[in-house]
């Protein structure tokens, strides 16, 4: 009986420690400034670019209509699981250039029944203008409003003839040194208005950011755009 109580006590302590850890991570992420989130996104994107385990097919990059990166996305498994993250997105303009970055949020439920959590960097590459327009209108549910698939990586990325490239969104994730394709069906993306206003001011919308040429830039904005250029060149 004493052994049973000890085991249950350890389980309870693990749950308490995990809850405190999750609260700390989510709090530090929540209160990061817009500039800090941009720099975090730039660093996450650079880490993905330099990772030798991944090579996004050139065909996917050439057809990219938008790119989003979610650094340090938290995936929780506690009875019913879920994920939450804040990210940065750019849209390709009609002249081929990339728009100023704007902030987006990612959320979704899962079906995990184990106690635990994991931080992941998630890269999304949008292939169609229609999927972007849905997000501009308010939000998009991946898998329902736009087809989503784990992006081909590594050796399979070089065998373009074996891939149909029919999905509207391809996703990649990097976790503790591993970089593989991941599917996030059911996740919802929407605008992070507060962060966009903090960075650009004046109640600006994502659509206005995409269409603007004269927004005030900053070191963080320039670093993010440099990372995007390096990924897609």
For residues 37 and 151, what is the distance between their CA atoms, to the nearest angstrom?
24
**pLDDT at site 25:** 42
pLDDT in tens, 10-66: 445 544 443 444 443 444 444 579 999 999 999 999 988 888 777 888 899 999 999
Strands 169-175 and 148-150: parallel
- DSSP structure class, residue 31: T
Across the range 186-197, mean pLDDT stands at 92
Name residue, tokens 């420690």. Answer: 17
- At residue 200 the predicted structure's pLDDT band, cuts being 50, 70 and 90, is very high
The set of residues, in sequence order, having a beta carbon less than 8 Å from that of 205 and lying 6+ positions away, is 191, 193, 196
Residues sharing a CB contact under 8 Å with residue 12, sequence separation 6 or more, in sequence order: none
Higher-confidence position of 161 and 34 = 34
Contacts of 152 (CB under 8 A, 6+ apart): 57, 60, 163, 170, 181
User: What pTM value is reported for the model?
Assistant: 0.78
């Amino acid at each position: 009986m004493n052994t049973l109580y000890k085991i249950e006590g350890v389980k309870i302590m693990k749950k308490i420690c995990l809850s405190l850890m999750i609260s700390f991570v989510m709090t530090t992420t929540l209160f990061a400034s817009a500039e800090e989130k941009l720099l975090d996104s730039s660093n996450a994107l650079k880490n993905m670019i330099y990772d030798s385990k991944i090579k996004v097919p050139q065909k996917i990059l050439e057809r990219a209509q938008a790119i989003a990166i979610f650094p340090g996305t938290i995936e929780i498994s506690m009875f019913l699981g879920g994920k939450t993250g804040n990210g940065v997105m750019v849209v390709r303009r009609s002249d081929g250039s990339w728009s100023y970055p704007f902030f987006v949020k990612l959320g979704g439920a899962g079906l995990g029944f184990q106690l635990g959590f994991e931080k992941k960097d998630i890269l999304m590459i949008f292939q169609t203008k229609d999927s972007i327009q849905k997000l501009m209108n308010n939000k998009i549910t991946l898998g329902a409003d736009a087809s989503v698939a784990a992006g081909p990586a590594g050796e399979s990325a070089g065998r373009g003839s074996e891939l149909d490239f029919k999905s509207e969104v391809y996703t990649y994730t990097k976790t503790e040194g591993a970089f593989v394709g991941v599917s996030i069906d059911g996740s919802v993306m929407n605008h992070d208005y507060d962060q966009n206003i903090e960075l650009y001011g004046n109640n600006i919308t994502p659509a206005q950011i995409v269409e603007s040429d004269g927004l005030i830039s900053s070191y963080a904005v320039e670093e993010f755009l440099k990372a995007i250029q390096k990924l897609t060149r």
